[in-house]
Amino acid sequence: MAYPYLMSDSTEPTATTAAAAVTNKVAYLGPPGSFTYQAARGYFKVPTATTTTTPAQSEVQLAAQASIEDVFQAVEDGTATYGVVPFENSSAGTVNQTLDRFVRSTSGGGGDDKPRSGIVADATSANPHHRKGVWVRDQYFLPIVQCLLVQRSPPLSGETSPLVGGSDGDINGGDETTTTTTPSAGLGNIRTVYSHPMGLLQCDRWLKTHLPHVERVTVTSTSRAAELAAQDPHAAAIGSAACVEFYNVRVARNGIEDCGGNTTRFFVIHRKPGLSTTAPGRSYLYFTVDHRRPGALSEALAVFGQFELNLSKIDTRPSQLLPWHFYFFAECTGHHQDEVVQNAMRQLELVATDVVVLGSYPDPLGETA
């Protein structure tokens, strides 16, 4: 089975016969060539750029979205069955936009809606899956190699973003001289560098050293950055070498990320939660506390220790409801349907407010009980 964890419960559409292929539309942060595109293809085992049939006879159709917001929206309104969003990077940290959008998804719609205490009824009520919004269903780790991408050849007149297939595979190739002698050689005509904020962060030192005077412009994704660089001989993009397949760009520099082992974790999201499995799991959740009460946050965190749930990640985001009021995001061991996690959530609700479990997924490092 191509992605057994998603298919392991009865909430999923599954093909019953070889002829009855099921279309799962997967929304991802596009356009094609983004790292999220690669994560979606890798996770759902899609070997070609468009549509294919997996060994499970489940047809997967990738659907590019212009923003993380649009990926969530597509899953929320049912236009897509699953969504793939970037969650955190090993050197640049958490993707705040994804965290903020989880709050909007689960707190009832518009950004100014107040979250309702107790919507985590999901962990405590008779119906453990009853709450608004999307669920985290799985995670996917993708090694990230960042490239400096520049226009490959001037667009023909009237053309804005030509699609040119294939990489020239030559990091100093194209119109420029191939006798590069210094790391910055041949980059003198670049005035603007486009990328996703995470791309710019991952290459911050490289940019300071080799392109100290260029203007850094953040865009919705690295592939959108490549699309823009393809149209401007004085621009470059930071993104994946995969973009040469889709846009009129070539790789001017390869491997420009500042830190080794550069890896991004993505979440697979869905409208329904997963069911517990025997495999070790982790859960992702958020809560807030009464910030005026001394000890409120440390009491909340102590709950995880009391129930022997290992905390593997904590983030803070402004709630945007009140000044200096924050949500705390936490990842802990255990599946949200495990009794111990449910008991811990009940305890957490006594010392915190707006406790919302976002979902659970297999823990690749977990020990089988």
Ligand X SMILES: O=C(O)C(=O)Cc1ccccc1
Query: Which residue ranges make up the site for ligand X (CB under 6 A)?
Result: 29, 34-36, 86, 89, 144, 196, 198-199, 221-223, 264
Identify the three-state secondary structure at position 282: strand
Least Å from the CB of residue 138 to ligand X: 17
Identify the three-state secondary structure at position 172: coil
Least Å from the CB of residue 40 to ligand X: 9
**Nearest CB to ligand X, comparing residues 223 and 360:** 223
Question: What ranges make up the beta strands (E) of the chain?
Answer: 22-29, 51-53, 58-65, 82-89, 93-94, 135-143, 147-151, 192-195, 215-218, 235-239, 249-254, 263-270, 281-288, 311-318, 326-333, 353-362
CA dist 224 and 26 (Å) reads 19
**Nearest CB to ligand X, comparing residues 84 and 345:** 84
**Nearest CB to ligand X, comparing residues 240 and 248:** 240
**Nearest CB to ligand X, comparing residues 97 and 106:** 97
Provide the CB-side half-sphere exposure for 147 (13 A, CA): 26
Least Å from the CB of residue 328 to ligand X: 24
Least Å from the CB of residue 61 to ligand X: 19
**Nearest CB to ligand X, comparing residues 4 and 93:** 93
Least Å from the CB of residue 35 to ligand X: 4
Six token digits for residue 331: 């990842």
Nearest to 106 by CA among 91, 117, 96, 97: 117
Instruction: Please report the DSSP string for 15-47 in residue order.
Output: -SSTT--EEEEEEEE-STTSHHHHHHHHHHT--
**Nearest CB to ligand X, comparing residues 266 and 284:** 266
Q: Rounded to 10 degrees, what is the CA torsion of 270, 276, 280, 281?
A: 30
Q: Where are the alpha helices (DSSP H) in 91-246?
A: 96-106, 121-124, 197-202, 204-210, 222-229
CA dist 366 and 369 (Å) reads 9
CB 331 within 8 A of CB 284: yes
Least Å from the CB of residue 196 to ligand X: 3
**Nearest CB to ligand X, comparing residues 86 and 133:** 86
CB 60 within 8 A of CB 54: yes
Least Å from the CB of residue 144 to ligand X: 5
Residue written as tokens 């260029």? 214
**Nearest CB to ligand X, comparing residues 134 and 198:** 198
Least Å from the CB of residue 240 to ligand X: 7
With a CB cutoff of 8 Å and minimum separation 6, the contacts of 155 are 161, 162, 230, 231, 248
CB 121 within 8 A of CB 130: yes
**Nearest CB to ligand X, comparing residues 86 and 174:** 86
Identify the three-state secondary structure at position 102: helix
